[in-house]
Chain A
Amino acid sequence: MKVSVQEAPFDFAAEMAAFGVGRADVGAVVSFIGVVRDDTGRMRALELEHYPGMTERAVTKITEEAIARWNLVDALVIHRHGRLGIGEQIMMVATAARHRGDAFAAAEFLMDYLKSRAPFWKKEHGLGGETDWVAAKDSDEDALKRW
């Protein structure tokens, strides 16, 4: 298991090259990358505030839960904080399991929980210098109920 909360960019290819290799019991690897999106055409950057200490604890707990629940062989979560430009990678998740069903389900579970149970807060910075905290969506909270 690897969990990292960091400001620096991550190297997705290098992380995946080292993930779940050399294991005879891995039959499926699923990976996901979250990217900074601009829906309005008026965004300059996205800032991610976090709660140092609690963030690492919360992400570790969520990852451990995914590993136990889907009997994962391995799991990896990297989540960035700080100021990110449009198109930059915010976070990545990878899961390794015997079968693809478990790998996909665990990756979706991780995404749903990281979105509303890990202490990160997004703030949009507009082209004109205006800022706006991103509001949590009811649909994000609803997404947790399926687990």
Chain B
Amino acid sequence: MIEVLYFAWVRERIGKARESVETGAATVAELVTELRAREPRYEAAFADTSALRVALDQELSEFDASLAGVREVAFFPPMTGG
């Protein structure tokens, strides 16, 4: 079981801020494929992963990264702080 968090327009498109996901995905990319297959709103949010960033356990990571031992995955657009 992995906690999946969504921020900014990813959260708005999917319609929720977080959820627990039962998954056998070995990598972030595999998790994305599973999520996209769920419903059109997930497909809309993940249509272009080059427009997204991912954090694993609150550290920026990559889509080809392993999910082994990861408890929290977050998807969001490029950051606009400052």
Residues of A whose CB lies within 8 Å of any CB of B are: 34, 48-49, 51, 53-54, 57-58, 79, 90-91, 111, 114-123, 133-136, 140-141
| Interface-facing stretch out of B2-10, B21-29, B36-44 | B2-10
Whether A136 touches B78, Cβ cut-off 8 Å, given contacts A53-B58, A119-B55, is: yes
Cβ 8 A contact of B7, one of A51, A114, A115, A136 = A51
Q: Is B76 an interface residue (CB 8 A)?
A: yes
Known contacts A49-B8, A54-B74, A121 near B58 by CB under 8 Å: no
A residues less than 8 Å from B55 (CB atoms): 51, 54, 119
Residue among A57, A114, A136 having the largest count of chain B Cβ atoms under 10 Å: A136
**A residues near B8, Cβ cutoff 8 Å:** 49, 121, 123, 133
Please list the 7 inter-chain residue pairs (A to B) with the smallest Cβ-Cβ separation, ordered nearest first: A120-B81, A115-B82, A136-B78, A54-B58, A121-B8, A118-B81, A122-B80
Docked pose: A95 CA to B5 CA in angstroms: 33
User: A48 to chain B: which residues have CB within 8 Å?
Assistant: 81
Interface-centre pick from B76, B78, B81 (highest chain A CB count, 10 A): B81
CB distance from A124 to the nearest CB of B (A): 11
Task: Tell me whether A115 and B58 are in contact in the complex, defined as CB-CB below 8 angstroms, given that A49-B8, A123-B8 are known contacts.
Answer: no
Most central of A90, A116, A121, A123 by chain B CB within 10 Å: A121
Q: Are B74 and A51 in contact (CB under 8 A)?
A: yes
Cα distance A133–B80 in the bound complex, in angstroms = 9
B9 to chain A, nearest CB (A): 5
A118 to B81, CA, bound (A): 6
| Bound Cα distance from A17 to B5, whole angstroms | 39
Evaluate contact between B80 and A51: CB separation under 8 angstroms.
no
Q: Which of B60, B76, B80 touches A134 (beta carbons < 8 Å)?
A: B80
> In the complex, A53 Cα to B58 Cα: how many Å?
7
Q: Which of A53, A57, A114, A141 contacts B81 (CB 8 A)?
A: A114
Q: Are B79 and A133 in contact (CB under 8 A)?
A: no
Q: Which residues of A contact B9 (CB under 8 A)?
A: 133
Q: Which of B43-69 contact A (CB under 8 A)?
A: 55, 58-60
Known contacts A51-B5, A111-B82, A115-B82; is-contact A136 B77 (Cβ 8 Å): yes
